[in-house]
């Protein structure tokens, strides 16, 4: 029997863990099973043509909120060109409200509800023998005009499920994509907006199996492994053993984890501080809200004081990238309350802060209680909210403005020092800055067009001209020049500001840099640079204010400063040039020792 497992990923860089589990589970009995991965951007007709060429007897689609609406039209076309092919759907999006999906799309023959490995295998056995599906647990199927739902399947011991990463050819095809991996299934918490809360208990794969899988992926050169465990650090000993293993065998791989911050043990943080190489680990920590009533209503247990201590301890380590999550639109969190939540969390100045909006996922307690809180939301996936009884659609749209500029001006990291200055020393709060700038950004129509690197700075400068005192704008310009120059690996020949150092002065300054080592200390002196190298690989700029990028708690001072940025030949992606700022005596046009 010819079996095709398919899905539409959100981006090419993503890969499907679910399909690889299914293939590993069934291929012993059904060796003619293959995986076909597409993206939601690909034309449906192209996907249909590719699947048609496989002449499958059975097609299984893995379906999620990000691809369900793109998948359904494909099913209709497939049934027209492959009327005898059996179409099976599975995944979290169709595991709930299953009859709705069967009625909405008559081209679906079977839906697998919940975990799919053993269920899909039983289905293939039934198809190959032309047996009834009535005794297969965990499915919905058609019988004439009737839709039947069989009883739920008992959860299978995870040790019985084969590794999804045994095929070396497949692994090698994933070198430049994100590989998803899980060491456990289930979640101990009951957050009402999350599907993971529905499954009770947490089950673990055997440790030796996990280590073998991870070592294989690392040895084959996988660049990014993202763990999808809902709470990777739930069991201290298990997490500590895996962290230690990954540090020892890391290769060139980066590892991402979902961490519950307020239960992360201090000894794990200390172990990582002392042993984890910089950039090896990325932690995603869901804060969601700091409103106690909101957390209570969504059954989210969170000790914010302990969470704060953990986030700050990880930040102090300096070797772990932190990504914090917020959800706008949770029950009883109005605009002003969310502003407080945002400011509470932005105060940590994480490497990334993601502002998401509540989605009424099928099967969740939040969706079941939507009327109670007056929610209005999208009829189709992704079911994002428009409003609720304390949050108007106008409020939501304003928060969308914040999300837009937050992504561009904080998460991308290209204007980081400037934003720190503005949020700490100019605007009343971080939220006030992002909201005011987001509103201006939209009014100027920039939300509908793309942007180049220069645009980030010229547009911010235009906004500050209408918002700030002249002195504040001058200081912000100094930070923006500094940020801009750090984004390059070679000396930029084109800049967005009017240069202040003339060519003749530049030559004189380069000569003085080489002679006044007492001013420049070890920053440039240890490089033993000659004037020719400095001329070719450096930028020298006179700043109107002296800024302190590495000490953001210090405000800029109203005295000129000389910025020297040197670009060592051969800088690699992720590496930064050497930048130093020195006091400058404007009256004598000389360095200040």
DSSP letter assigned to residue 546: B
State the pLDDT at residue 516: 60
> What confidence category does residue 593 fall into, taking pLDDT thresholds of 50, 70 and 90?
very low
Cα separations in angstroms, 126 against 119, 132, 135, 242, 251: 11, 7, 10, 40, 44
Answer whether residue 524 shows pLDDT above 90: no
pLDDT digits (tens, 9 = 90+) for 420-469: 999 999 999 999 999 999 999 999 999 999 999 999 999 999 999 999 99
Alpha helices, DSSP H only, in 165-206? 168-172
Worst-scoring range by mean pLDDT, 213-222, 516-525, 567-576? 516-525
pLDDT digits (tens, 9 = 90+) for 460-490: 999 999 999 999 999 999 999 999 999 999 9
- Exposure pattern of 356-377 as b/e (b: 16+ CB <10 Å)? ebbbbbbebbbbeebeebebeb
In the chain, the domains with their CATH numbers are 3-149 (3.40.50.2300), 162-358 (3.80.30.20), 495-583 (no CATH)
Q: How far is residue 16's CA from residue 583's CA, in Å, rounded to a whole number?
A: 54
The mean pLDDT value of the chain amounts to: 94
pLDDT digits (tens, 9 = 90+) for 142-170: 998 999 999 999 999 999 999 999 999 99
Answer whether residue 523 shows pLDDT above 70: no
Alpha helices, DSSP H only, in 94-158? 98-104, 117-129
Q: How far is residue 301's CA from residue 313's CA, in Å, rounded to a whole number?
A: 21
> What confidence category does residue 538 fall into, taking pLDDT thresholds of 50, 70 and 90?
confident
pLDDT digits (tens, 9 = 90+) for 193-244: 999 878 778 999 999 999 999 999 999 999 999 999 999 999 999 999 999 9
State the pLDDT at residue 592: 46
State the pLDDT at residue 586: 57
State the pLDDT at residue 457: 98
Answer whether residue 362 shows pLDDT above 80: yes
Answer whether residue 131 shows pLDDT above 90: yes
Task: Look at the pTM and tell me if it is higher than 0.75.
Answer: yes
State the pLDDT at residue 520: 54
């Amino acid at each position: 029997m010819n079996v095709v497992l398919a899905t539409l990923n959100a981006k090419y860089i993503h890969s499907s863990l679910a399909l690889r589990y299914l293939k590993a589970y069934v291929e012993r009995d059904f060796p003619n099973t293959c995986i076909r991965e597409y993206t939601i951007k690909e034309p449906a007709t192209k996907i249909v043509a590719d699947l048609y060429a496989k002449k499958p007897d059975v097609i299984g689609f893995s379906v999620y909120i990000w691809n369900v609406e793109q998948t359904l039209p494909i099913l209709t076309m497939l049934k027209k060109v492959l009327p005898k092919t059996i179409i099976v759907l599975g995944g979290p999006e169709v595991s709930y409200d299953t009859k709705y999906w069967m009625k909405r799309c008559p081209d679906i023959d079977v839906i697998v509800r919940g975990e799919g490995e053993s269920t899909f295998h039983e289905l293939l056995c039934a198809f190959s023998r032309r047996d009834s599906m009535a005794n297969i647990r965990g499915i919905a199927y058609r019988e004439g005009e009737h839709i039947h739902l069989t009883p739920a399947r008992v959860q299978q011991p995870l040790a019985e499920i084969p590794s999804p990463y045994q095929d070396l050819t497949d692994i090698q095809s994933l070198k430049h994509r994100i590989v998803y991996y899980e060491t456990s299934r289930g979640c101990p918490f009951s957050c009402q907006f999350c599907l993971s809360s529905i499954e009770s208990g947490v089950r673990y794969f055997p440790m030796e199996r996990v280590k073998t899988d991870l070592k294989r992926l690392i040895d084959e050169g996988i660049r990014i492994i993202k763990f999808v465990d809902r709470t990777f650090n739930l069991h201290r000993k298990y997490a500590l053993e895996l962290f230690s293993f990954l540090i020892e065998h890391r290769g060139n791989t980066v590892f991402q984890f979902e961490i519950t911050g307020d239960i992360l043990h201090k000894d794990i943080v200390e172990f990582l501080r002392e042993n984890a190489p910089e950039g090896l680990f990325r932690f995603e920590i869901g804060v969601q809200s700091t409103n106690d009533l909101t957390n209570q209503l969504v059954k989210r247990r969170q000790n914010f004081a302990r969470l704060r201590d953990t986030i700050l301890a990880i930040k102090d380590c300096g070797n772990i990238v932190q990504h914090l999550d917020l959800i706008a639109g949770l029950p009883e969190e109005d605009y002003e309350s969310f502003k407080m939540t945002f400011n509470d969390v932005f105060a940590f100045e994480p490497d990334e802060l993601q502002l998401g909006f509540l989605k009424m996922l099928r099967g969740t307690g939040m969706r079941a209680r939507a009327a109670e809180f007056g929610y209005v939301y999208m009829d189709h996936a992704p079911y994002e909210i428009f409003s609720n009884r304390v949050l108007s659609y106008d409020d939501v749209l304003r928060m969308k403005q914040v999300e837009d500029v937050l992504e561009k001006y904080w998460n991308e990291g290209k204007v980081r020092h400037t934003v720190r200055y503005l949020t700490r020393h100019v605007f009343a709060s971080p939220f006030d800055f992002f909201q005011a700038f987001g509103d201006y950004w939209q009014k100027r129509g920039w939300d509908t067009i793309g942007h180049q690197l220069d645009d980030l700075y010229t547009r911010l400068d235009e906004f500050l001209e209408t918002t700030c005192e002249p002195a504040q704008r001058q200081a912000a310009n100094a930070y923006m020049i500094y940020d801009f120059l750090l984004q390059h690996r070679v000396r930029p020949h084109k800049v967005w500001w009017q240069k202040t150092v003339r060519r003749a002065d530049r030559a004189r300054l380069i000569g003085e840099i080489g002679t006044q080592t007492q001013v420049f200390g070890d920053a440039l002196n240890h490089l033993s640079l000659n004037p020719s190298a400095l001329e070719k690989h450096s930028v020298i700029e006179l700043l109107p204010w002296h800024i302190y990028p590495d000490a953001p708690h210090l405000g800029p001072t109203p005295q000129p400063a000389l910025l020297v940025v040197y670009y060592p030949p051969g800088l690699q992606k992720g590496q930064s040039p050497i930048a130093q700022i020195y006091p400058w005596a404007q009256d004598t046009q000389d360095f200040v020792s």
